[in-house]
Amino acid sequence: MKTIITQVAEKVVEDILINIYENGISDIGETAESLMSVLKEGTLELLSAAVSEVDQAVLSAKKERKLDGVTVKQRNVPRTVVTSLGNLTYERTYFKLTDGTMAYLRQHR
């Protein structure tokens, strides 16, 4: 099964090819600007998909979380981060830790 990241990457390539096919490349500067826009949007989509996959991996690690005493407090909490590519919007899970504090966890390598 393809991951969402692979699907987004394939969509970005398809969007680039469609952009070139529909607009041509007679004006290299204009084509470069148009393709940069496609790449920025695609990169934001890829980042959002990657964050979602990491969040899902932590969420799915029930056994490990239970051993650590970490429970789900709230799912699908929206977050927007301003980046050089534009606004990156994604959803994440809010966890309750053993000491009673709340946190957004991340997967370690």
What is the predicted pLDDT for the residue at 31? 87
Q: Write out the chain's pLDDT in tens, 109 residues.
A: 468 888 888 998 999 999 888 888 888 898 899 899 999 999 999 888 888 888 888 889 999 999 988 999 999 999 999 999 999 999 999 999 999 998 886 645 5
The 3-class secondary structure across the chain, one letter per residue, is CCCHHHHHHHHHHHHHHHHHHHHCCCCHHHHHHHHHHHHHHHHHHHHHHHHHHHHHHHHHCHHHHHHHCCEEEEEEEEEEEEECCEEEEEEEEEEECCCCCEECCCCCC
What is the predicted pLDDT for the residue at 58? 86
Rounded to two decimals, the pTM is 0.76
What is the predicted pLDDT for the residue at 1? 43
What is the predicted pLDDT for the residue at 87? 95
